[in-house]
Amino acid sequence: MTNWYDMHSFPRLALSSDSELPPLSVIALDTITLVIAKGEDTIDYLQGQLTCDLVSMDKINSTLSAHCDAKGMVWSTLRLFHHEGGIAFTQPTLIAERQLTELKKYAIFSKVSFEISDQVLLGVVGNKADQTMFSLYMGNGNVRATQTGTVVRIERNRWLLAIGASEAGHLLDKLEKHAILSDAAFWDLLELRAAIPSLTDVTTNKFIPQSLNLQILGAISFKKGCYTGQEMIARAKYRGINKRTTYLLQGEANFSPKAGGVMERSVRGNWRSGGTILSGYRFDDGQALALVVLPNNLNEDTQFRLVDTTAIWNKLPLPYSLT
């Protein structure tokens, strides 16, 4: 990984649960790894390994995807896009090495290579992000080439940049008077609020894609050809055997909910294990958010709590429909 981040200060933002977010922020995404796949068999190889349809992904858009084992259990969730003549994907650094080892298992039979990039990863967010990025990077679509890399529009007013160190430095110089710098926790919060699942070393290989809402997020193609784990994933769709869904919860906490932690649920006055935490964020006022995989047959008024705590948590509306 590049040491570029060490030469700049990206502090944690002080945020309460009702804080107005900065109009423009630049975020150091130093907890994310960028992998670049290149070679004439890149698309065909990844098409047979991932849940998304890369053949249909044009060069001006990105896509979410899952990489699964033969039983349909997700190794990692990825964001893929065209980048420097190849296909790039991002994922948490904590899981990247293990995921890449699994992904490369059969690459020896194909003309494809994988490389962990040392490019700088940044986020540009806020209600002025689109205006700023459109003025800095010409082109059409949500994926645009730069002098040294690529910028990706994740959603309205939220961008991911994979660029060279020199270009990253110039960007900071241009925006230093207008933008607040932040560490990666701010990006984690935005991913949480968008209910985009992310796996780490303690949650990998535990869930099928539908338990992570990936079918809703456009990360699964049910029309393309065979890929690793397809049989189980298709069975979950057509036979309705998936019994879990990812939900967004909010409550008070003395600490930030950790990936792999347990969220308990109230059942007729008793507390039982309810689900697994994928990610969490704690605000400075003691409120916290967590993305949690839970049974999908719970009542809407079900109450939750973190293990060994008493504060009651409740479900929040997801930013997308599950139907």
Q: Which residue ranges make up each domain of the chain?
A: 21-193, 243-314
For residue 68, which of 191, 226, 175 has the smallest C-alpha distance? 226
Distance CA 316, CA 107 (A): 42
**Residue 302 · residue 315 · CB < 8 Å:** yes
Ranges of H-type helices in the chain: 42-47, 93-103, 129-136, 165-175, 184-193, 230-238
Please list the residues that pair with 114 across neighbouring strands: 37
Model confidence band, residue 300 (pLDDT cutoffs 50, 70, 90): confident
3-state secondary structure of 109: helix
The strand pair at 180-182 and 25-28 is best described as parallel
Model confidence band, residue 323 (pLDDT cutoffs 50, 70, 90): confident
Sheet bearing 63-68, strands edge to edge:
63-68, 74-83, 86-92, 32-38, 113-116
pLDDT per residue over 77-101, tens digit each? Answer: 999 999 999 999 999 999 999 999 9
For residue 155, which of 61, 21, 281 has the smallest C-alpha distance? 61
- Residue 1: pLDDT over 70: no
For residue 253, which of 225, 210, 289 has the smallest C-alpha distance? 289
Mean pLDDT of 234-262: 95
Per-residue model confidence (pLDDT) at position 2: 79
The dihedral through the CA atoms of 143, 195, 129, 15 has a sign that is negative
**Residue 303 · residue 313 · CB < 8 Å:** yes
pTM of the model: 0.96
pLDDT per residue over 200-228, tens digit each? Answer: 999 999 999 999 999 999 999 999 989 99
pLDDT per residue over 12-42, tens digit each? Answer: 999 999 999 999 999 999 999 999 999 999 9
Model confidence band, residue 43 (pLDDT cutoffs 50, 70, 90): very high
The dihedral through the CA atoms of 151, 152, 153, 159 has a sign that is negative
Tell the CATH topology of 21-193. Gyrase A; domain 2 (3.30.1360)
- Residue 158: pLDDT over 90: yes
Model confidence band, residue 308 (pLDDT cutoffs 50, 70, 90): very high
Domain 21-193 shares a fold with domain 243-314: no
For tokens 């939750």, what's the residue? 304
Distance CA 65, CA 74 (A): 10
| Phi and psi, residue 114, nearest 5° | -125, 135
Per-residue DSSP letter, 54 = G
For the segment(s) 243-314, the CATH number from 1.10.150.20, 3.30.2130.10, 2.40.30.160, 3.40.50.170 is 2.40.30.160
3-state secondary structure of 85: coil
Per-residue model confidence (pLDDT) at position 115: 96
For residue 112, which of 36, 53, 224, 34 has the smallest C-alpha distance? 36
**Residue 188 · residue 196 · CB < 8 Å:** no
Average pLDDT, the chain: 96
The dihedral through the CA atoms of 71, 77, 80, 83 has a sign that is negative
